[in-house]
Amino acid sequence: MSLTAAAHGSENRGMAVSVETDYDAFRRELPDLLADPQNHDLFALVGGGRVVGLYPTFDAAADAGYKRFGLDPFLVQPVVEKERPKYFTGRAVPWR
């Protein structure tokens, strides 16, 4: 799952199922989003199993997600062909 996913909720099991469903919906819709060059490098707000909006920044999409979904889970995903990792945890060992 994406490291840029923004998810929150009150029940961990429900959150995991919902976030997985939202991520699957995003992956299904990504080819159509990428077909329009104007969508490249925007951030998709995904909730309820569908992409509900595109925003110019991660923060703008996350803010819209909190306003729209409150405490229900949602994701924010970059609209890019290949996602670039941004965060690492634990020990980073160079690949050889």
Q: Is residue 21 part of a domain?
A: yes
The total number of structural domains that make up the chain: 1
Report how far residue 32's alpha carbon sits from residue 45's, in angstroms, rounded to the nearest whole number. Answer: 15
Q: Is residue 20 part of a domain?
A: yes
DSSP strands (E only) in 1-96: 43-47, 50-55, 75-78
Which residue type occupies 3?
L
Per-residue pLDDT of the chain (96 residues; tens, 9 = 90+): 343 444 444 444 455 558 899 999 999 999 999 999 999 999 999 999 999 999 999 999 999 999 999 989 999 999 999 987 766 566 656 666
Q: Is residue 83 part of a domain?
A: no
Q: Is residue 44 part of a domain?
A: yes
Residue 79 Cα to chain centre, angstroms: 9
* The overall pTM is greater than 0.75: no
Q: Is residue 42 part of a domain?
A: yes
Q: Is residue 84 part of a domain?
A: no
Longest C-alpha distance within the chain, in Å? 45
- Give the range of the structural domain holding residue 19, as residue numbers without chain letter: 12-78
Q: Is residue 53 part of a domain?
A: yes
